């Protein structure tokens, strides 16, 4: 096995002897491991051991080499994997994100007629893949950024498992600039319009309105609002033993509007409906409240199934997540940030600030009001007290 032709030079002989010895050592190691497991040691076993040593793919479904099979295997394993932060199973929504990214990679492979290895996920792939999503399929910058971020996460997981990856995945160029968010929120005047609507002739809208108002004054995610029947309501507070996403325990004071909703319903909570129905009905509620100001936002078009930025009536931009943004924005600057974050369960201040949606005009109005108050204090005449 280690005999080389006499004509080979000394350097070549030494190099190949080292390689052959490494292969021999690896085969012996695999033999000792697999023999102890009771596996059959035959020519097929030997071929597989040699292919593994040379990192040769063991077929098109080899998830240790090919990227799509790796994503599929990782996704499958994740269905029974725990989130190390929350201690809970990986959520259905996260699994769907994995599958969506995997489908995008499959479409890319079909278009370019390639079979991507994990090591192929490099800057050249990045350039072609982002063009594929952005130019051909008209994805928004934010959607492209999310896909690139998920791909980087997959490759890092592969590296953690000991699979070979390209170092270019860590390049600062392996990213994408997402769109500036134009999410909207409802101010307190608009919330009052929604709260005071007479929807007694429409049980569905009345139910959604009440659920929405509870969300607007609690700052809860829709995933938590859907568990509203598990909350503990006392005279003054709502206690949530574990929030869905972070597992945090939260105690929230009951806003007067929430208290009146509970009183109206004889302390029975609003009925829970699906996210899709909620997002449809809540737009109808806001339209009934005449929240029609034309503002900048993004609306998903049925024809392209893509969000398009433009100016739309405000009620068309309202969704379940508006409640959480509104809570953070309406209380920002009035109470300290840590108090708001304790209720919204934001872990970092930078993440919390992304929820603050105060417009430029509102910032200007606040500054003008502050200057006006300061001027009044300067010009205020001292009041002399009469002493008898």
Please give the full DSSP string across 22-39, using - where no structure is assigned. HHHHHHHHHHHHHHHTT-
Indicate whether 285 and 360 sit together in one domain: yes
Coil, strand, or helix at residue 338? helix
Coil, strand, or helix at residue 381? coil
**Which residue range is the domain that position 20 belongs to?**
10-53
92 in Cβ contact with 80 (< 8 Å):
no
pLDDT at 242: 58
Token output for 90:
């990986």
pLDDT at 383: 56
Residue 387 lies in a domain: no
| Mean pLDDT of each 10-residue bin along the chain, 388 residues long | 58 73 83 85 81 67 91 94 78 92 97 95 97 91 94 96 93 89 86 96 95 89 71 73 60 87 87 90 97 90 81 94 88 77 71 63 60 72 57
Indicate whether 105 and 34 sit together in one domain: no
Residue 153 lies in a domain: yes
Indicate whether 319 and 351 sit together in one domain: yes
- Closest to 98 in 3D by CA, of 117, 74, 114: 74
Indicate whether 297 and 351 sit together in one domain: yes
- Closest to 218 in 3D by CA, of 205, 233, 203: 233
pLDDT at 187: 92
What's the burial of 248, exposed, middle or buried (CB within 10 Å: 0-12/13-18/19+)?
Answer: middle
* Beta bridge partner(s), residue 251: 239
What's the burial of 129, exposed, middle or buried (CB within 10 Å: 0-12/13-18/19+)?
Answer: buried
Indicate whether 153 and 204 sit together in one domain: no
Rg (alpha carbons) of the chain, rounded to whole number: 30
> What is the count of structural domains for the chain?
3
Residue 48 lies in a domain: yes
């Amino acid at each position: 096995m280690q005999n080389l032709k006499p004509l080979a030079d000394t350097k070549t002989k030494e190099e190949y002897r080292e390689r052959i010895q490494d292969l021999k050592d690896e085969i012996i190691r695999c033999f000792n491991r697999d023999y102890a497991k009771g596996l059959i040691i035959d020519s097929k076993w030997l071929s597989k051991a040699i292919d593994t040593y040379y990192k040769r793919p063991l077929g098109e479904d080899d998830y240790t080499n090919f990227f799509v099979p790796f994503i599929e295997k990782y996704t499958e394993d994740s269905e029974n994997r725990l989130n190390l932060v929350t201690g809970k199973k990986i959520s259905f929504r996260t699994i769907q994100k994995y599958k969506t990214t995997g489908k995008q990679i499959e479409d890319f492979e079909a278009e370019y007629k390639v079979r991507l290895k994990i090591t192929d996920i490099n800057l050249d792939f990045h350039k072609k893949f982002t063009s594929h999503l952005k130019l051909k399929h008209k994805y928004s910058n934010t959607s492209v950024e999310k896909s690139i971020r998920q791909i980087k996460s997959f490759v890092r997981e592969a590296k953690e498992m000991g699979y070979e990856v390209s170092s270019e995945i860590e390049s600062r160029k392996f990213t994408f600039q997402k769109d500036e968010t134009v999410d909207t929120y409802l101010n307190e005047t608009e919330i009052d319009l929604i709260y005071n609507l007479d929807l007694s002739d429409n049980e569905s809208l009345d139910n959604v309105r009440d659920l929405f108002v509870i969300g607007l004054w609690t700052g809860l995610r829709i995933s938590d609002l859907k568990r509203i029947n598990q909350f503990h309501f006392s005279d003054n507070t709502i206690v949530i033993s574990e929030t869905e996403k972070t597992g945090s325990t939260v105690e929230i004071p009951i806003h007067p509007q929430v208290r009146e909703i509970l009183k109206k319903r004889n302390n029975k909570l609003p009925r829970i409906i699906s996210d899709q129905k909620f997002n449809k009905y809540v737009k109808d509620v806001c339209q009934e409240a005449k929240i029609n100001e034309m503002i900048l936002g993004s609306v998903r078009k049925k024809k392209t199934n893509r969000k398009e930025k433009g100016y739309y009536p405000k009620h068309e931009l309202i969704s379940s997540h508006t409640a959480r943004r509104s809570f953070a924005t309406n209380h920002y600057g009035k109470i300290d940030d840590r108090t708001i974050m304790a209720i919204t369960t934001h872990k970092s201040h930078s993440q919390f600030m992304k929820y603050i949606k105060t417009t430029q005009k509102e910032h200007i109005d606040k500054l003008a009001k502050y200057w006006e108050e300061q001027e009044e204090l300067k010009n205020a005449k001292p009041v002399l007290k009469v002493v008898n």
